[in-house]
Structure 1
Amino acid sequence: MGKSLSIFFVIAFTAQLALASDLIQNVSSRNQISLNGQWNVIVDPYDVGDKRKFQAYQGPVSKTKLSEFDFDSAMKLQVPGDWNTQAEELFFYEGSVWYQKFLSLDIDKSKRYILHFDAVNYLSHVFVNGKEAGVHEGGFTPFEFDVTGFLQQGKNSVVVKVNNRREPDYIPTMSTDWWNYGGITRPVRLLELEKTYVKDYALTWKDGEIDVSVEVEGPDKADASVKLSIPELKINKTFRAGNDGKVNAALSAEPSLWTPESPYLYNVKISLNDTDIEDKVGFRTISVDGNDILLNGKPVFLRGIAIHEEKPGGDGRAWSVEDARVLLGWAKELGTNYVRLAHYPHNENMLRVADELGLLVWAEIPVYWDIQFENDLVLNKAIRQFSEMLDRDKNRASVILWSIANETPNTPVRTRFLTKLADSVRSTDPTRLITAAINTQSVTGEGRKIDEDFANVVDVIGINTYCGWYEDDTPEECAEFTWESKFDKPIIVSEFGAGALQGNHGSDSEFFTEEYQSRVFRNNLTMLENMDNLRGVSPWLLKDFRSPRRPLSGVQDYWNRKGLMSEQGIKKDVWYLMKKWYAEKAN
């Protein structure tokens, strides 16, 4: 049970975690109409839809009028869902697809209506009744538009033009090692809010105080009366917002702190007038001290696994709470206390279930490989993607690491880019640690040395190494490696591993056999035991996943085979090897 102490209100207190103003917090707790389900779609590889005004569709036209499109008779796809796995002819498709759906509304003129998308990959143009509500770029973060002035009584048409074509100035850019799933891949909802409403809030704990920030939006935001209730801590407090609609307060309290062993979550209610927002929030601290990662002031070793956001039983973009429970349940079964959610922000269910299960989280934006580091507009896109991830996940205790890059080249222009990005992340959220996965270690006579200057920028150094797989060294030579670091910082080996086709048995010298995969893992684990600053590992990865870079017929078939499990969730031999190692680490 939670413990409580006296409560006090500090009118001038500035909370540690700054509020961002672009997204509504905790949309699942708001009054809403779901737009999930069947949508009409038209595939548009030549982008003729804009000229033909697909966006203005209101239903079939008379046969006496020329029209070369009709959503009602067009292909149907399910939302949420990617188009690649719903239609065989779209498996490799990259380009524009137009989505259309009718909804009937009884408009309440006293309400505000917000059209919210959990994610669409990648570029989205949103239209309501033929008028453009807004544009969003980025495939893994939420966005929303106020459509109050676009809606009408009765029948309404929502049209979304989605394009997943890869471009040089996108994040991620032209080349990735995962499938470019296109479509409206996460839920869509129409929020029905009061004209004045609680838009955002953040709660963090440190040194005996819960820092509370609330933002009220609307015409009556000044001097709005906001109530906060956390019953188990005996907190029931009313605050008055300032002229800007913001509340910043500190409440003295000693909660039971969230840990992987005891992931305690408190029921939180924030109320404005007659509208309540409910959440479950855990309180914890995260910091570093020399080579150690400190959770609630105590050293922690991160026993982890990397995960791509694919459905547990095969391919296709995962999105549901059921998907999250299976994927993270497998991680718990392996003996982990930490997951690396690669290489982009995963759906919100993954973070909320991680909160419940007690899994620490490395969350990441897709600054992946060689993007346009010299382009300031691309830097702004990276900052925007991080901001959207933070907006959504700021109240999740499980998230302890913000990762700002994966396997980027060691160049001055890249280091300047990532330094600016790290500065932006720290200024926005100083309550979590910054990391990035680096694969540019120096070769020494005894092994490897972590010496690139970018490691100075992060709080925790992430290392990707594929000794015995991509590198020329034999697995046994890997076991003899000595790792050096010129930095007094904790290290997480964020990736290591080897590929195997589940059920493919043979010599431990043959690539893609389970025996060779196990040989690589055994020797890499010996290597890891010799890393003095090692404070966590997340082998690559939980289950096999789709990748267009892996065409080897009969073995890969466009699957990356480095999973500890097959795409169907069948455990490979290496699963049991890692489970045993983690059990020993936990004792």
Structure 2
Amino acid sequence: MPITQADTTLPPNPQFRRDGWIDLCGSWGFAHDDADAGVAGNWWQRPEVFDRQILVPFPPESELSGLRETGFHPVIWYRRAFTAPALQSGEKLLLNFGAVDYAATVWVNGQCVGSHEGGHVPFSLDVTHALSQGEQVVVVRAEDQPQDVRMPRGKQDWLEAPHSIWYHRTSGIWQPVWLSVVPDLYLTDIHLVPDLAHARVRCDIRLNTVPTAATTVTIRLSAGGKPLAEQTTLLDDAELGFDIPVPQLENGVHRDYLLWTPEKPNLVDVEVVLGGERPDRVQTYLGLRSVGVGAQRFLLNGLPYYLRMILGQNYWPESHLAAPSPDALRREVELIKQMGFNGVRIHQKIEDPRFLYWCDVLGLLVWEEMPSAYAFSSSAIERLSKEWMAAIRRDKSHPCIVAWVPLNESWGVSQIADRPDQAHYASALYHLTKALDTSRPVISNDGWELVESDIWSVHDYAPDGAGLTSRFHDQADIEAMLTGMGPARRRIVLGDRELGDAPVMLTEFGGLSYLPKQGEKWHGYSTVADPQEFEERLRDIFTAIAAMPHIAGYCYTQVTDTEQEVNGLLTAAREPKLPFATFHDITTLPAASLPHEQIDNARRKARLAAQDPTPID
């Protein structure tokens, strides 16, 4: 079934769809286990323990969960009954979790069916062997030690109440739970990476196990209902990689009608069929596009492209990291685009796949960033590396994702400038990411103290345009800053690395706090008193950045007010602090670093003055 913008009911992962999935969200039994007595007390066999209710997938700290309990509760339990679908011979039942923060153990009908660690990534468990006649019961134990700063926690506070730039915690189940029926041999991964230069798509697939006999996999690509390519390949192993030629890409002029960009987010529908006694059919999609860097510019489909991004915490006051509804995820994308931005840097969060789906469909670039741990230790390295690999594995095929960010502002590697082991760790994460995906730029440590990096990304919260101009307008000033001390009194590029032709981007700036409530705790980088001053300051800063001839893009802080961080362009309720048209006018100023934007803008103004409706090519 083709992907359309009219889809109103989405599966939990729209980029990996099977027919007949069964939603298990809703009311579950719930219990705190502050004494950690549940395992010894066999709570998976004691329904009377679960004397409270929670609305899944909202975390117990949130209002929408029905609990709103923000204190320290390191161990929590969930329970619900469900009816299993009838299975045919040769079929299995998978129990899937979008995300459980941080570690989960799962029982079905009293049998332990598996466990998982990593609070931002999905996992699936085969529960076929645990099914019984009649009603089934699933029990989940979730452990999230609130003061453990060695686990990847992102912006979740380790103190009981939010402070500075950290927020209320999101514990336990916070993304959908669902059932899916699969054959005995089934697909677990489908990765599709376009290779525009060679008119092909690289396909990597994984199966749940090695086939007992050689079988086939068939891939069909279509666009607008018309076939683009079809290929059938024999496989006798659990992993296979192969190339699919796409002849339409050979026509260098015509292919532009197929390519994915934020302005024209064309998607190619993909059907994957794994052969066998019971075939496994998965519907997915891809965007034919390339991303990279060169000549100190970001490149989209081989051409310079100016990144106009905004920092997204993607946090809601009533539901925390969980979205309050599937529609809220689409609305977030629409609001960002309505303000004139073409990208979002999701900050310290691996976002719900449905958000990435809407970025793919509606056309919004994404920098994906790993939630940080805050201490440096062997366990922190192991935890973050494992979860980061799982995030890349889940999201590698999204056309909207154009950069990977494993570390931010030296969080978790606070002595990276002086400790070789921390610098090696950052370098290792960079190279690990490049080994898993060669098709995107990687930023080793966004903000400052960068080791190997494809983009030199700098955070600078100067209160006005003049301050930014003094550091970013002239090439000599930029080079002096990159090789010396940056605006946060941190070195920007560590070691004696050549700056090369990597682009320079201003990936955090602004953070203007407009009218914080008197008497309440709040955090902002600079304060304005009224709408007029807010607009004036925004115009001053964005005009200065647009005039910088050597800056390849930016990321403004931030989309919404979040807890005590009241520096959003929108309120926490997603209401604009200035008219959307004003934001759009400010954020879309032509960039001096891309001369064609200046030329196109002049042509557009001339045609507008002449009332000529002909679009710019």
The TM-score normalised by the length of structure 2 is 0.77
Q: Is structure 2 residue 273 aligned with structure 1 residue 271?
A: yes
Distance 2:317 2:290 in 1: 32
Matches within 5 A, 1:559-570: 559-570=564-575
User: SS at the partner of 1:154?
Assistant: coil
Structure 2: distance between partners of 1:341 and 1:387? 17
Alpha-carbon distance in structure 2 between the residues aligned to 1:576 and 1:437: 34
Question: 1:102 and 2:104 equivalent?
Answer: no
Write the mapping of 1:382-401 to structure 2, written as runs, cut at 5 A: 382-401=384-403
Kept in 1, the 8 Å contact 2:513–2:526? The answer is no
1:351-500 correspondence runs (5 A): 351-367=356-372, 370-372=374-376, 375-408=377-410, 409=414, 410-411=416-417, 412=419, 413-436=421-444, 438-440=446-448, 452=449, 454-455=450-451, 457-468=452-463, 477-478=467-468, 480-482=470-472, 483-485=477-479, 486=482, 487=499, 488-500=501-513
Match of 2:588 in 1: 583
* Match runs of 1:146-157 below 5 Å: 146-157=126-137
Q: Quick one: which of 99, 102, 105 aligns to 1:125? A: 105
Once the two structures are TM-superposed, the CA of residue 36 in structure 1 deviates from its matched residue by 1.1
The one of 534, 545, 548 aligned to 2:551: 534
Whole-angstrom distance in 1 between the partners of 2:203 and 2:511: 46
1:171 aligned partner: 152
Per the alignment, do residues 467 and 81 of structure 1 end up closer, same or farther by CA in structure 2, a change over 3 Å counting? Answer: same
Q: What is the distance in 2 between the residues matched to 1:577 and 1:330?
A: 13
Query: CA contact under 8 A between 2:17 and 2:283: conserved in structure 1?
Result: no
Q: Report the residue type matching 1:49 in the other structure.
A: G
What amino acid maps onto 2:81 in structure 1?
F
Match of residue 21 from structure 1? none
Distance 1:438 1:514, change over 3 A: farther
Distance 1:501 1:88 in 2: 32
Post-superposition shift, 1:572? 1.4
Matched, 1:40 2:45: no
Which of 241, 245, 250 lines up with 2:244 in the alignment?
250
Match of 1:75 in 2: 52
| In 1: Cα distance, 2:185 partner to 2:192 partner | 21
2:314 matches 1:309:
yes
Residue 465 of structure 1: CA displacement? 1.9
Residues 493-551 of structure 1 show CA distances to partners (whole Å, capped at 9, x for unaligned) of 2211234355879xxx99363456556544433553465431111211111113xxxxx
User: Corresponding residue for 1:289?
Assistant: 294
Tell me the matched-pair count. 516
Is the contact between residue 498 and residue 521 of structure 1 (CA under 8 Å) also seen in structure 2? no
Amino acid at match of 2:152: I
Moved more, 274-283 or 528-537: 528-537
- 8 Å Cα contact 2:430-2:444 kept in structure 1: no
Candidates 253, 262, 265, aligned match of 2:264: 262
Q: Give, in angstroms, the shift of residue 129 of structure 1.
A: 2.1
> CA 1:182–1:242 in structure 2 vs 1: closer, same or farther (change >3 Å)?
same
Q: CA separation in 1, counterparts of 2:459 and 2:537?
A: 15
Cα distance in 1, alignment partners of residues 138 and 311 from structure 2: 37
Work out the CA distance in 2 between the residues paired with 1:202 and 1:96. 35
Letter in 1 for 2:395: D
Alignment-derived partner of residue 529 in structure 2: 513
Query: Using a 3 Å threshold, how does the CA distance of structure 1 residues 520 and 43 change in structure 2: closer, same or farther?
Result: farther
% identical aligned pairs: 22
Partner of 1:29, secondary structure, is coil
The one-letter code sitting in structure 1 at the alignment partner of 2:194 is: W
1:51 aligns with 2:40: yes
The CA distance in 2 between the partners of 1:388 and 1:378, in whole Å, is 15
Shift, 1:99, TM fit = 0.6
User: What is the deviation of 1:162?
Assistant: 1.7
On the 8 A contact 1:305/1:540 being kept in 2, the answer is: yes
Structure 1 unpaired stretches of 5+? 1-23, 61-68, 441-451, 469-473, 547-558
Give SS of 1:268's match: strand
- 2:193 and 2:467 map into 1 onto residues whose CA distance is 46
**By how many angstroms is 1:153 displaced?**
2.6
> 1:584 is aligned with what amino acid?
L
Partner in structure 1 of residue 487 of structure 2? none
Matched AA of 2:221? I
Classify 1:475/1:265 alpha carbon distance in 2 versus 1 (closer, same or farther; 3 Å). Answer: closer
Equivalent-residue separation in structure 1 for 2:290 and 2:321 (angstroms): 35
Q: Call closer, same or farther: CA 1:530–1:415 in 2, change over 3 Å.
A: farther
1:325 equivalent in structure 2: 330
> Offset of 1:581 from its aligned partner?
2.4
Q: Aligned partners of 1:528 and 1:438: how far apart in 2?
A: 19
TM-score for the superposition, normalised by structure 1: 0.81
* Cα pair 1:221 1:244 within 8 Å, conserved: no
Q: Which amino acid aligns with 1:168?
A: V
- Shift, 1:355, TM fit: 0.4
Q: Which residue of 1 aligns with 2:605?
A: none
Deviations 1:244-291 (A, max 9, x none): 453523324315111111111011111124432112211111111131
- 1:459-516 Cα offsets, whole Å, 9 max, x none, are 1122222223xxxxx77545544551352321222211234355879xxx99363456
Checking the alignment, whether the CA contact within 8 Å between 1:124 and 1:160 is kept in structure 2 is yes
